[in-house]
Structure 1
Amino acid sequence: MSFVGKKFPNIEVNAMSDLGDTFKINVLNEAVDNKKKVLLFWYPKDFTFVCPTELHAFQEALAEFEKRNVKVIGASCDTAEVHFAWLNTPKNNGGIEGVTYPILADSNRNLARTLGILDSNEVYDEVADAYLLEGDDVTFRATYLIDETGKVFHESINDMPLGRNVKEYLRLVDAYTHVQQHGEVCPANWEEGKDAMNADRKGVASYLASH
C-alpha cells in the first residue's frame, strides 16, 4: 500500500535523542503542528554495516535540510536503549556518535507494520501447529517525505544492501517546494535554478523545444 498523496499515519512512537532522553514522536504532528516538512528514513538494524553510513550521511546534510525547513527523523525497530548505546559508540567503531536528530524506536512495530515495510511473512507451520514469521521482522530502507499538511509527497523503499543517495531527497524537497511556491511542475532531472514548466501542452512543448 502506497501512502503517496495520503496523510501519514497518526501514530505515536517512542524515540531517543542524542542526549539520552526517551520521548514520544508523532510524525504527522511534527509536520502539521510545526508547519515543517519531515523526512523520515527507516533502516534495518542498529550496529550493522550500511546503516551507520546512512545515518552519518543524513547528519552531514542536516544543515541543508534545516535550511529548507525539513525535520529529519531516523527510525528502526530497535529499542530506545539500543539506540542510545549506538549513539555512544564512536564512528571509527561502527557507531553513530555525533548524530543529533531523533531516532524512532518502533520496537512494537506499530508504525512499521501500518506502513507495510517489514521484512516478514506469516506462514503456517504444520510441525509447530502455529503461524510463524519468516524473515527478520525488521524494516527495509524506506523513506518518506511529508509536507506541512501531513501529506506524503514521496516514498521509496530499498532492499537491505542498497544505501540511499541523500542528495536526491534534497532535490525532491526543492522540487516540491518549487511546485508549492510557483505552481509549475518539475521535469526529469530538475534541480534548483533550472527551468520548470507549466502543466499544459503548450508548457511541455515549449520546454522540450528549448531543451
Structure 2
Amino acid sequence: MDAILTLRDNSARQAKAIARPTQQEAEAAVRTLLLWAGDDPDREGLLETPKRVVKSYKELFSGYGESPEDVLGTTFEEVSGFNDPVLVKDIPFYSHCEHHMVPIIGKAHIAYLPDGKVVGLSKIGRLVDIFGRRLQTQESITAQIADAMDTILRPRGVAVMIEADHMCMSMRGIRKQGSTTITTTFKGTFQEDVNEQVRFMTMVRHT
C-alpha cells in the first residue's frame, strides 16, 4: 500500500510541477514550427493544421492524464487455484521518442505469476497505452510497465518484453530501416529463476 501511495504522490507532484499552456498557446507554437520549417501557415492547406495538431497531441499523449493504479486496481480472486503464468503477447503500441518526438512503433509481451488474484486481460493492454502515450525511451517504458504490474498487483513475478522500431533511426540520423530493438525486465520469480525466464521466452516465441 505504501508503494502505491508513493506512485500516486509522485504522479501528483509531477502534474502540479507542469504549467500546461492554453489551447491558443499550443496552436501558436505549431504555427511557429510551420514557419520555421519554411512553409506558409496562412495557405489554405495549413490554415487548420495548428488546431488539428493540438487535437491529435491530446490523444497521442493522453497517457499523462491516466493512472496505472486506476487501471490495475480492480482484480478477481476467483481463480480456481490457477498458479501458472498469465501471458498477454503481441500488444501493439505507438509511442514517441523523448529525444526527437518521432514515433516508436512496437509490441509488448507481458506475463505475471498470480498470487491469489488476477486482473482483467484488457487492463494490461490499457496499461501499455498509458505509458506508451507519453514521451518515452524504450528502456523506460519497459521498466515502467514492469514496476506498475509489480507494485500494484503484487504478483509472484512479472516479465516484460518490448520489441519496437524507432523512427528516429529510420527517418533521420543513420537511417537504418528495418532495425528492431528488444528490451526485457523481470521481477520477482521471473528475475530469480532462469527457468521461468526461459519459460516466458518460449511462450512468447512459440505460442
TM-score of the two chains, using structure 2 as the length reference: 0.29
The structure in which a higher percent of residues are helix is: 2
Which structure is richer in relative contact order (CA contacts within 8 A, separation 6 or more)? Answer: 1
TM-score of the two chains, using structure 1 as the length reference: 0.29
